[in-house]
């Protein structure tokens, strides 16, 4: 078993028993953290990292990503600019995902995984779409996660928008594969695009598969107003009620966005223990509205933070959540603590429902996921002041090293598992080819 000792770091453990240890050590044995403290003895054969001048924190967690979105950078959809969210889907996303081939799936994922490692993000919950190569696409995603060395919870976004029931077989097959392997590095949920692109026949098939497999769903809910309007018009009920009717609420399911849900839907989400994820940067970009983040938290809903494919940078997502709520409510007292808790506590709780090995704290027995930032605190770094250092310090600090599952993925700014330059070069070619297929 390999052992790593991170020596003399300023350690933010997020463990309430000892939240901050200045000049502390973290001992890693195999995939797990063996000990956290001061002056830990160095076992023979240990790989020692001198972490003077570095801050060690638990690896960050992204609870809603779209790794396939990487080729959107710099892409201008043909025709008039999209005027609303439905047009953004029709003109950009549904064309880009349809244009992806298998190599495009692989390289768009690798691009995003390079960024995740470079920003200290070690666990990702992804929502994938590539309707021209649905079958087997989750295996490609799995391969990239394993190649990078990260942890990933994957799904395919089932939708009737191209072919009725597209994604049902892929999710079912991949869930069975993950359940049979029992492996904890790559796990799965049942992915759904959104209720507005899912007819009753497909919903019934999803419900049957989820019941049989004991799986939760990962679905966009009321991201734009059109989703609720569609549901009311076609089915005479609201979105969360329709999902609940099919048995898709519950502690294993993730409902993303929820911007336009009403109070009855919030209460149903709270009562069923369904998880939610807020993606403030994406919501601002798509001009879809402001999630009622504080009200959802007030109802006791487990609400995490994601990037929705915009980026892999998680601390900036927390900053955006905090700033957006203040601006929206016109109240400078709001949302700072909540945004940090969503990033650092709720995302860990969500990940711990999707994976077996606990993560999110630097503490004995937890998964050895550690982000090391080059960051010299210029104000006291101590219990009760940690959040300010995340949002206004670590957010700008370069990540020096990233450890995931007890392995260095980046050390002293050098990526060890992925060849960044080669990935960028091939991604460049593939992005141009992908764009060339879009009219």
Residues near Zn ion (CB under 5 A): 308
CB 257 within 8 A of CB 220: yes
CB of residue 77 to Zn ion, shortest distance in Å: 17
CA dihedral angle for residue 128, residue 184, residue 3, residue 417, rounded to 10 degrees: -20
Is the CB of 68 or the CB of 375 nearer to Zn ion?
Answer: 68
CB of residue 89 to Zn ion, shortest distance in Å: 11
Is the CB of 15 or the CB of 308 nearer to Zn ion?
Answer: 308
State residue 52 phi and psi, 5-degree precision: -60, 135
CB of residue 69 to Zn ion, shortest distance in Å: 9
Burial of 157-185, coded b for 16+ CB within 10 Å and e otherwise, reads bbbbbeeeebbbebbbbbbeebeeeeeeb
CB of residue 45 to Zn ion, shortest distance in Å: 44
H/E/C letters for each residue in 245-256? HCCCCCCCCEEE
Antiparallel, parallel or unpaired: β 121-126 and 303-305: unpaired
CB of residue 64 to Zn ion, shortest distance in Å: 6
Is the CB of 4 or the CB of 141 nearer to Zn ion?
Answer: 141
* 231/247 Cα distance (integer angstroms): 17
Is the CB of 310 or the CB of 403 nearer to Zn ion?
Answer: 310
Name 51's Cβ contacts closer than 8 Å, sequence gap at least 6: 6, 7, 8, 9, 372
Is the CB of 25 or the CB of 308 nearer to Zn ion?
Answer: 308
Is the CB of 69 or the CB of 187 nearer to Zn ion?
Answer: 69
CB of residue 351 to Zn ion, shortest distance in Å: 17
* 350/32 Cα distance (integer angstroms): 19
Residues facing residue 221 across a β-bridge: 257
Is the CB of 97 or the CB of 308 nearer to Zn ion?
Answer: 308
Which residues of 162-245 form beta strands (DSSP E)? 186-188, 190-194, 217-221
Task: Tally the C-alpha atoms within 13 A of residue 233's C-alpha that lie toward its C-beta.
Answer: 8
H/E/C letters for each residue in 305-342? ECCCCCCCCHHHHHHHHHHHHHHHHCCCCCCHHHHHHH
**Which of 431, 365, 341, 396 has the alpha carbon at shortest distance from 72?**
431
Coil/strand/helix, residue 64:
strand
CB of residue 166 to Zn ion, shortest distance in Å: 17
* 176/37 Cα distance (integer angstroms): 41
Is the CB of 166 or the CB of 308 nearer to Zn ion?
Answer: 308
Is the CB of 308 or the CB of 338 nearer to Zn ion?
Answer: 308
* 281/287 Cα distance (integer angstroms): 10
CB of residue 314 to Zn ion, shortest distance in Å: 15
CB of residue 305 to Zn ion, shortest distance in Å: 13
CB of residue 382 to Zn ion, shortest distance in Å: 37
Q: Which residue's CB atom is positioned nearest to Zn ion?
A: 308
Is the CB of 95 or the CB of 400 nearer to Zn ion?
Answer: 95
């Amino acid at each position: 078993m390999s052992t790593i000792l991170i020596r003399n770091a300023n350690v933010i453990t997020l463990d309430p028993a000892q939240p901050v240890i200045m000049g502390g050590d973290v001992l890693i044995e195999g995939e797990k953290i063996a000990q956290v403290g001061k002056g830990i003895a160095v076992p023979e054969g240990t790989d020692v990292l001198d972490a003077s001048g570095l801050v060690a924190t638990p690896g960050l967690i992204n609870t809603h990503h779209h790794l396939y979105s990487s080729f959107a950078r710099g892409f201008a959809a043909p025709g008039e600019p999209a005027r609303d969210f439905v047009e953004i889907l029709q003109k950009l996303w549904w064309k880009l995902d349809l244009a992806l081939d298998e190599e495009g799936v692989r390289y768009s994922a690798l691009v995003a995984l390079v960024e995740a490692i470079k920003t200290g993000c070690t666990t990702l919950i992804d929502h994938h779409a590539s309707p021209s190569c649905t079958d087997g696409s989750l295996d490609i995603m799995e391969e990239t996660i394993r190649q990078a060395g990260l942890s990933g919870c994957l799904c395919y976004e089932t939708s009737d928008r191209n072919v009725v029931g597209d994604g049902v077989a892929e999710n079912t097959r991949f869930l069975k594969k993950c359940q049979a392997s029992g492996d904890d590095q790559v796990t799965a949920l049942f992915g759904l695009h959104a209720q507005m692109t899912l007819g009753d026949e497909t919903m019934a098939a999803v419900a049957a598969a989820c019941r049989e497999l004991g799986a939760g769903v990962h679905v966009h809910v009321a991201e734009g107003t059109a989703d609720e309007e569609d549901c009311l018009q076609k089915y005479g009920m609201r979105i969360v009620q329709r999902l609940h009717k099919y048995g898709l609420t519950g502690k294993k399911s993730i409902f993303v966005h929820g911007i336009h849900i009403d109070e009855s839907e919030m209460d149903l989400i709270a009562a069923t223990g369904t998880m939610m994820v807020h993606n403030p940067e994406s919501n601002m970009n798509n001009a879809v509205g402001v999630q009622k983040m504080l009200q959802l938290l007030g109802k006791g809903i487990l609400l995490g933070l994601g990037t929705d494919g915009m980026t892999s940078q998680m601390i900036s997502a927390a900053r955006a959540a905090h700033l957006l709520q203040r601006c929206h409510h016109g109240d400078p007292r709001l949302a700072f603590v909540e945004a940090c808790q969503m990033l650092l506590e709720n995302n860990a709780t969500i990940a711990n429902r999707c994976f077996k090995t606990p993560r999110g704290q630097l503490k004995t027995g937890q998964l050895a996921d550690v982000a090391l930032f080059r960051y010299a605190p210029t104000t006291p770094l101590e219990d009760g002041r940690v959040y300010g250092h995340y949002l206004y310090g670590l957010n700008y600090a370069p990540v020096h090293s990233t450890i995931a599952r007890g392995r260095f993925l980046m050390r002293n700014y050098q990526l060890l598992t992925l060849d960044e330059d080669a990935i960028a070069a091939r991604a460049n070619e593939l992005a141009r080819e992908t764009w060339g297929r879009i009219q």
